[in-house]
Amino acid sequence: MRNMLKNILSAAALAVLVATPSLAQDEEAAPAPRPASAYATIDYNLQDDRDNILFLYLSNGKRVAIRLMPDWAPQHVERIKTLARQGFYDGVIFHRVIEGFMAQTGDPTGTGQGGSELPDLQAEFNPMPHVRGTVSMARAQAEDSANSQFFIVFYPRFSLDKKYTNFGRVIAGMDAVDAIVRGEPPSNPTRIVQASIAADNRPAPSPAQMAAPANTDARTMSVDELNAPIGE
How high is the pLDDT of residue 125? 97
The ranges assigned to domains in the chain are 53-225
Question: Rounded to whole angstroms, how far apart are CA atoms 130 and 168?
Answer: 10
Residue 28: band (very low, low, confident or very high) from pLDDT cuts 50, 70, 90? low
The pLDDT score that the predictor gives to residue 134 is 98
Q: What is the pLDDT of residue 209?
A: 83
- At 220 the pLDDT is 41
Whether omega for the bond prior to residue 108 falls within 30 degrees of 0, making it cis, is: no
pLDDT surpassing 90 at residue 6: no
For 181, phi and psi rounded to 5 degrees? Answer: -65, 130
pLDDT in tens, 70-97: 999 999 999 999 999 999 999 999 999 9
Residues 39, 43, 44, 47: is their CA dihedral positive or negative? negative
Question: How far, in whole angstroms, is CA 108 from its chain's centroid?
Answer: 17
Residue 56's pLDDT is 98
Give the chain's radius of gyration (CA, Å): 25
CATH of range 53-225; options 2.40.100.10, 3.90.1170.50, 3.40.47.10, 2.40.110.10: 2.40.100.10
CB within 8 A of 189, min separation 6: which ones? 93, 94, 95, 97, 110, 181, 183, 214, 216, 218
Instruction: Please give the residue that has the higher pLDDT: either 73 or 211.
Output: 73
Check whether 11 has a pLDDT greater than 60.
Answer: no
Residue 16 has pLDDT above 50, yes or no: no
Element (H, E) at 13: helix 2-26
Where does the pLDDT of residue 1 fall: very low under 50, low under 70, confident under 90, or very high at 90 and above? low
pLDDT score of 78: 98
pLDDT of residue 4: 53
Q: How many Å apart are CA 208 and CA 61, to the nearest integer?
A: 10
Q: Comparing 32 with 17, which gets the higher pLDDT?
A: 32
Range with the largest mean pLDDT of 36-45, 88-97, 217-226: 88-97
Q: Where are the beta strands (DSSP E) in 35-182?
A: 53-58, 63-68, 96-98, 102-105, 134-137, 150-153, 166-172
Pick from 15-19, 53-57, 193-197, 209-213: least confident: 15-19
Record the pTM.
Answer: 0.80
Mean per-residue pLDDT over the chain, rounded: 85
Is a pLDDT exceeding 70 seen at residue 218? no
Mean pLDDT of 95-110: 97
Q: What is residue 142's predicted lDDT score, i.e. its pLDDT?
A: 96
